[in-house]
Amino acid sequence: MVTGASSGIGTAIARALAAHGVPLVLTARRTERLEALAAELRARVEVQAVTADLADPGAVAALVEGIETRGVRVRMLVNNAGYGVPGRFDAVDWTRHAAFLQVMVTAVCELTWRLLPSIRAFPDGRILNVASFAGLMPGSRGQTLYGAAKAFMIRFSESLAQENADRDLRVTALCPGFTRSEFHDVTGTRAMMDRLPAWAWLDADAVARAGLDALEQGRVIAIPGWRYRLLHGLTRHLSDQRRLALMARNASKIRRSD
């Protein structure tokens, strides 16, 4: 199962899995985009497309009940659905923050919890949580909850990996940096992001391959791109004060804080 499959990294992961003959359950909010992807991939594998808005607190239970009714057993879960809410924390309506947390934290946990018995029943169960490099870095102003939600996903993945170490159930948190997709168009920050240097951008297909390779290799944390791995290695040895100062100085280049 791949959530948020209608665009970006989710689409790339779905295509990569289909190329290896893996049957798919794809879910996303946008029915037309989802059905178009499903039609494309059905030439290779069996695909079920289920429209679901994970901001709805009842969506996960309905999604799982629906596939179980059809006799579908999930071996691999890809928690990919996500987005950002730009601007200052107190300048955004709480209803938007609540919906964000529902999608990015609660739905991830509930879907994993509901599908874990099925995944554990397979000798090669897999969980890929699409986190972000932002979850490995200090917080910054603008999109206040995004890095925090991704940091949660990373720690959640680490705990799941340890709890299921007695089986060949592998869990990976994929932590890409800036990836070319619709993400920044949706958040309204495309013009700002286009000022970043070319080296900062990753390709969605390459990110998908890196995540799936790390999952099969049993690596819990996957950081695509050697530049991001180098940046992570360098900054992790700085003091918290210096790391926060660096983020404060550079946040205005990549975050709306109005």
Catalytic residues: 146
Q: Which residues contact 53 (CB under 8 A, 6 or more apart)?
A: 29, 59
Residue with tokens 């299921």: 164
Question: Rounded to whole angstroms, how far apart are CA atoms 65 and 181?
Answer: 31
Question: Dihedrals φ, ψ of 24, to 5°?
Answer: -130, 145
Half-sphere exposure of 48 (CA within 13 A, CB side): 15
Q: Which residues contact 181 (CB under 8 A, 6 or more apart)?
A: 7, 8, 9, 204
| Burial bucket for residue 147 (CB in 10 Å: 0-12, 13-18, 19+) | buried
Q: CB atoms < 10 A from the CB of 173, how many? A: 30
Quote the radius of gyration of the chain (alpha carbons, Å).
18
The CA-based dihedral angle spanning residues 146, 127, 115, 40, taken in that order and rounded to the nearest 10 degrees: 90
Question: Rounded to whole angstroms, how far apart are CA atoms 192 and 182?
Answer: 14
